[in-house]
Amino acid sequence: MVMALLLFVSLVEAMAVNGLNQQVQRNIGASAGGQALDLAFVMDCTGSMGSYIDTARKHIQAIVDEIVTSSNTTVRLALVEYRDHPPQDNTFVTKTYNFTDSVFMMKIWLNAARATGGGDGPEAVAEALFKATKLSWRPEATKITVLISDAPPHGLVPSQDSSFPGSPTDTIQ
């Protein structure tokens, strides 16, 4: 049986919760149930994550290390970094690192992630999750995506959204 699970971790609240890492590790490990596991992390890399990015990296690495060393499943890892759409951010909207079975490569990707840019409060969450759906997921694997963010997607709080043409806010109006 293939199971899809989306875990949302709001860093503003979650980093204050003792034992979050262990809880996520247990949930992910239990979901795989001994079969192949494709585990993707979708991470907000905007400037507002500056004080959280090191903690996010540390927790992701701990989760990856625990899952890989304690499970008898074949594990593949992916990372999708996201920021915001122009004109709020002109660096990138998403940066995708497709699945690998190398924990070393995952750590290189994580260590290269920088928190900068952004602009208004909402970020390109929908675009990042869309990119995650386009990763090379194995049909037989348990598929898990972990979203790490401190901001909502565009379209939820119009008063804080300097939207771009075609955004959910723009479409609703």
pLDDT score of 163: 56
- Please report the pLDDT score of residue 31 as a whole number: 54
Residues of the chain with pLDDT under 50: 1-18, 20-21, 169-173
**What local confidence, expressed as pLDDT, does residue 27 receive?**
57
Parallel, antiparallel or unpaired: strands 4-10 and 142-149 = parallel
- pLDDT given for residue 65 in this prediction: 92
Which residues are CB-contacts of 142 (< 8 A; sequence separation ≥ 6)? 2, 3, 5, 31, 32, 33, 35, 36, 37, 38, 73
Structure tokens at 136: 């090379």
Of 48, 71, 58, 67, residue with least CA distance to 150? 48
Prior bond to 87 cis, omega within 30?
A: yes
78, β-bridge pairs:
40
| CATH tag, 4-14+45-155 | 3.40.50.410
- Write down the pLDDT at residue 18: 40
At a CB cut-off of 8 Å and minimum separation 6, what does 17 contact? none
Q: What is the reported pLDDT for 10?
A: 44
Q: How many residues does the chain have?
A: 173
Give the whole-angstrom CA distance, residue 96 versus residue 78. 8
